[in-house]
Structure 1
Amino acid sequence: MSTTVESPLAWETVVDDAPVALSARAGLVALAGAEGTVKVLDAATGAETGSFALPGGALSIALSPDAGHLVATGPLGYALWRRSDGRTTVRESGAWSAAAVWADGMGVSAAEQGQGRGKVAVASGRRALVLDAEGHELWRTEPAASTVTDLAWMRRGRRLAVAAYGAVRCHERHTEKPVATYPYLGSHLALAVAPTGQWICSGNQDASIHIWRTRDGSELTMSGYPEKVSRLAFDDTGFWLAADGAPDVTVWDFSGQGPEGRAPRSLRCHETVTALAWRPGAAGHLVSGGDDGTVALWHATAGRPQGRLRPVREQEGTGEAVTALAWAGPHLLVVARRDGRTRTYGVPSRTSL
């Protein structure tokens, strides 16, 4: 049975905007609001270390692995922020920019590293742009059939997966045309690539998850979800995939030969799932948020397939929907709600949470 336990509050901040995205890396937490408010906070104290506004509003935000740079994307373009001096470069391209993702630095050429600071891929209309950390364009993909909806790096920054209507296309460094194409007739809303690179998964408008095994292109579709699947997340091991698309969160087992023929675990707590985030590490801990403001912590890989798990810890909210979740390391959980309130809680490290 679940237990309602209030985790200790580390800090709280309130912005005059509705948060839509969080990113936490290397001691910083970045928060983006629907109207374009962007704030960068110290993960331990909540003290503000930077801020700017993205014209036209924000959709996503991503800190670089070392937290030295940040990119925010929105309906009219994107912006890059530099931690060392707070410099912000705004690119109002007029193109819908739904996502951005940093390469981890492995497999990144010296030129692409921007003097050691990595590279970032940004969705820009029907293309993906690859930039160095200072915002200089390194290369771009050819136009997709429709707006790019999500991005993921593979092979430690050597290959970029780009999701748009009808297919996920993969590009190598400086290749405008795709070097691999994984077709599926439908609108892809979310993209997740296993850390091993073995699996590419898309959550779709048609209430399905489509899966490709990269080594041979074999495919599998999990259909029958009552709602569109717009959130997917692999844990750090790459063995477990969490998805929304129903009141239950489903957790699929990708170990061995993958999920074919296996039933998922089901996690029931919310009427509508609004956010998902795996705890760093291999413990199998997942946090979910709902439209009622509840936050649930799960030992999501416990139990048996087809089993319905209950949260090991529940945190009641204010009634305001949870809009984003992030782990600032293994012991700090960041929760943003629609009313502009963001709180960070200390979470025990023991397996039972």
Structure 2
Amino acid sequence: MSDSTDIEFLLGQRGTSHNFGAWVIGLAFGREGRSLHAGLGDGTVRVAQFASPSEWVAVEAHKGAVMSLCADAKDGALSGGDDGRVMRIAPDGTATELAKFGSKWVEHVAAHESGIRAAAVAKAVHVLDAKGEVMKSLAHPSTVGGIAFDAKGKRVAASHYNGASLWFVNAKEDKPRVLEWKGSHAAIAIHPEGGHVVTAMQEMSLHGWRLADGQHMRMSGYPAKTHSLSFSNKGKWLATSGAEAVVLWPFFGGGPMGKAPTELAGGDGVMCTQVLCHPQHEMVAAGFEDGLVLLADINTGRVLPVAPPGQGGVSALAWNPTGSHLAFGTESGFVGLLDLSAR
């Protein structure tokens, strides 16, 4: 797939790009549908509008590096930095500090459209309300490796050493459901229907829990660590990085146990580094360590080339809420924005 000499890439036909010269830590489209935010390793968040995608506003968000970025609850983006701050970046680039946690890194942020937000700092997950005030701080046995809200915003899951913890954010008494499995757990995802939690492990495998009965699910065979997990819009498939192809585990017909995964868009010996399923269709975007970006139809296996190799390993992907626009970023600071809307 990396031989780009005779392949026509969608970025050249339907996209714009810019190189910021600093690692793209995260990308997020505002839920308002107008803005794209890029969090960079130099501490800035860059903001562009759909109406003028080649014009970027530079926001001095953090004194140090941006560690995490996500779409904020209503519009704009939320960022966490190694300066201990959680910042809200409005669609026009206005920056507001929501919380400060001393000198500790804010390694993970998450937000739900209901207004609830979460920030992972060392062993704690701090839950912030719609006003940006800290409602509660949830303690974990070790450093938090990843956080995720469920689809309704009622629960937040956090991965850590020897498992994961699942909390009800509005509970009067904060007591988690602890999901145990020995080892170091990082990236985490909750099934769209709320019945499964899956983590990526240091041991180059995935581990899952079926919440109805506590059944364990172990998904192994990866040649590299998985850093990126994404459920398809209705939860039929779990797409993952960590192999030379996009690895898709079936979450239907009893789930993935005892079943081989489906592999898409592989075969050239280059590792997949990022995956993100389309918000409405059974399609997945994938980025590779050589800079290649692809779109793959899960049902047919058809692959559309988005961007050629050569701009650094793909470090971030983002879909806008309707799935009409795709953004990708790389370790070298290259950001591409693709317009897939009907013409």
TM interval, short-chain normalised: 0.7 to 0.9
Query: Do the aligned partners of 1:4 and 1:315 also contact (CA within 8 Å) in 2?
Result: no
What residue number does 2:316 align with?
324
Amino acid of the structure 1 residue aligned with 2:66: A
| Separation in 2, partners of 1:132, 1:40 | 24
What residue number does 2:153 align with?
157
- Structure 2: give runs of 5+ residues left out of the alignment: none
**Structure 1 residues 338 and 82 mapped into 2: Cα distance closer, same or farther (>3 Å)?**
closer
What residue number does 1:98 align with?
107
| Separation in 2, partners of 1:119, 1:241 | 25
Amino acid of the structure 2 residue aligned with 1:94: S
Counterpart among 15, 35, 38 of residue 31 in structure 1? 38
Q: Which moved more, 1:16-25 or 1:339-348?
A: 339-348
Q: Going by fraction, where is strand more abundant, 1 or 2? A: 2
| Separation in 1, partners of 2:296, 2:142 | 37
| Separation in 1, partners of 2:81, 2:24 | 13
Give the deviation of 1:65 after TM superposition: 4.1
| Separation in 2, partners of 1:155, 1:271 | 33
Q: Which moved more, 1:153-162 or 1:289-298?
A: 153-162
**Structure 1 residues 5 and 176 mapped into 2: Cα distance closer, same or farther (>3 Å)?**
farther
Would you say 1:55 and 2:63 are equivalent positions?
yes
Give the deviation of 1:27 after TM superposition: 2.1
| Separation in 2, partners of 1:84, 1:280 | 21
| Separation in 1, partners of 2:283, 2:294 | 10
Deviation per CA, 1:46-65: give whole Å up to 9, x if none: 23356223123112101224
- Structure 1: give runs of 5+ residues left out of the alignment: 106-117, 303-308
Matched position secondary structure for 2:309: coil
**Structure 1 residues 295 and 76 mapped into 2: Cα distance closer, same or farther (>3 Å)?**
same
| Separation in 2, partners of 1:264, 1:29 | 33
Query: Do the aligned partners of 1:139 and 1:174 also contact (CA within 8 Å) in 2?
Result: no
What residue number does 1:12 align with?
17
Give the deviation of 1:184 after TM superposition: 1.0
Would you say 1:295 and 2:288 are equivalent positions?
no
| Separation in 2, partners of 1:339, 1:101 | 25
Give the deviation of 1:30 after TM superposition: 1.0
Q: Write the mapping of 1:20-169 to structure 2, written as runs, cut at 5 A.
A: 20-25=25-30, 26-46=33-53, 47-48=55-56, 51-67=59-75, 69-83=76-90, 86-89=94-97, 91-105=100-114, 118-142=115-139, 144-154=140-150, 156-169=152-165
Deviation per CA, 1:246-274: give whole Å up to 9, x if none: 22221011013211222111121561222
Give the deviation of 1:97 after TM superposition: 2.1
Q: Give TM-score, length-normalised by structure 2.
A: 0.87
Counterpart among 257, 262, 279 of residue 260 in structure 1? 257
Deviation per CA, 1:251-308: give whole Å up to 9, x if none: 01101321122211112156122221112213x1111111211111111233xxxxxx
| Separation in 2, partners of 1:178, 1:54 | 33
| Separation in 1, partners of 2:246, 2:234 | 19
CA RMSD of aligned residues (A): 2.5
What residue number does 1:337 align with?
330
Matched position secondary structure for 2:107: coil
Amino acid of the structure 2 residue aligned with 1:136: E
Q: Which moved more, 1:49-58 or 1:242-251?
A: 49-58
Percent identity between the two aligned chains = 26
Give the deviation of 1:204 after TM superposition: 0.5
| Separation in 1, partners of 2:130, 2:57 | 19
**Structure 1 residues 157 and 140 mapped into 2: Cα distance closer, same or farther (>3 Å)?**
same
